[in-house]
Amino acid sequence: MKVLFVCNKSPFPAHEGGPIAMKSIIDGLLKTGNQVKVLAVNSGKYNVDLKDIAAEVRENTGLTLVDVDLRIKPIGALKALLRNRSYHVERFISTSFKKELVRILDTETYDVVQLETVFMAPYIPIIRKHSKAVIVLRAHNIEHLIWKRLARQSMFLPKRFYLNHLSETLRQFELQSLNQVDGIAAITRKDASFFRGFTHKSVVDIPYSINTAKFVPVFEVAASPVFFHLGSMNWIPNQEGIKWMLDKVWPKVISKVPDARFVLAGRFMPDWLLSYKAPGVEVIGEVEDATDFVQKNHIAVVPLLSGSGIRIKIIEAMALGKTVVTTNVGAEGINFTDRYDIFIADDAAKMAALMVLLFQHPEKAYNCGVTARKLVEEQHNSDKVNARLLKFYNNLIQNTCNGLNPVNH
């Protein structure tokens, strides 16, 4: 099978959630003997130099990058506001990208064209015109919900108004796009259920998967466990959650256990965090080896208040045998049992209490890490998930050949 991936950012190198999720599927398809071609947006925010990509990766994926200016421009934002259009989507429309997509489609024949995120949906008409491939939308999130939740958190009325506008225009575009593709591969069961309510097209949940053999768990927990957070800090929900954590949760923790430590790591660490000073808090920015960082620390804290989809860093922490403390929003897409394979708290007092409990009883963190690893092995195994995706592709192709409307799975 030949699959063309049309991506909102390069899957290589995989430094943050979206690229990691894309790479997981691409690796799975290549492993099972399928052919893959990758066309991706290259922006200032997530810029990649092809020379930095391994020759083997470039050869196996035919990775093509097109520079697209995604910077927020006041005039463009105002025009989108006045036209009631989604500025999130408008920024991804590029003449250069269109030309390269046409060239690729006219050069090769593909069985499947997979759009990575709804932001690539403006290119559906071009794909229809130049290819007979089935089109799959890989939904990493319910995108408009992220902005709806951010709007709810904002106390500044003009900002709340604009965030609500962004959410609503994105919602309209997102839901309209569902019926323009042949199938939707959601990243969680919850997201898949939501999409089924707005389309007759085939919808399947394809969770983020990993090769568990490459994730060596370290279950041991120190007598005084170290709390940690690892994530790309250019994602607004991460910044929002960490600010809430530092303002509302951590002071309660440190008042009960003065020896507690909280280490913050990740790419694009903002200046306000790099200069942040508080008892027990250490901000180290980007780390050279994310797996090594997780293995050396003990309890992951993911204090998300907004967002959608699945948190890849949570799955990876669980695969590495770590207890995760997060919110219900953070745990979306994971079939968890609270206090068994993950710890859940939605308010500051409860989260602080859980962190104090785990600090004082590290054996509970050890036990949770063991069961967390088992959950990942059972539900996020790459071989199982990739087989499910290939079956979905084949069903779409067969239904298209037979002139049938796909049915929900």
Structure letter (DSSP) for residue 119? G
Helix, strand or coil, per DSSP, at residue 262: strand
40: enclosing H helix or E strand = strand 35-42
pLDDT (0 to 100) of residue 408: 47
pLDDT digits (tens, 9 = 90+) for 157-175: 777 877 877 888 989 999 9
- Give pLDDT < 50 ranges for the chain: 407-409
What DSSP string describes 295-342?
HHS-EEEE--SS--S--HHHHHHHHTT-EEEE-TTTTTT----BTTTB
Task: Measure CA of the first residue to CA of the last residue in the chain; give whole Å.
Answer: 21
CB contact set of 400 (below 8 Å; sequence gap of 6+)? 134, 182
Q: What is the pLDDT of residue 175?
A: 94
Residue 354: CB atoms within 10 Å: 23
Q: What is the DSSP secondary structure assignment for residue 180, as one 8-state letter? A: T
Domains with residue ranges and CATH for the chain: 2-209+381-401 (3.40.50.2000), 213-379 (3.40.50.2000)
What is the reported pTM? 0.77
Would you give the DSSP letter of residue 286?
-
- Which residues face 301 on adjacent strands? 325
Residue that has been written with the tokens 């997981």 in this structure: 24
Cα separations (Å) of 148 from 51, 136, 157, 158? Answer: 39, 25, 14, 14
Q: Kind of pairing, strands 134-139 and 35-42?
A: unpaired
Q: pLDDT of 125-144, one tens digit each?
A: 999 999 999 999 999 888 87
Q: What's the pLDDT at 409?
A: 45
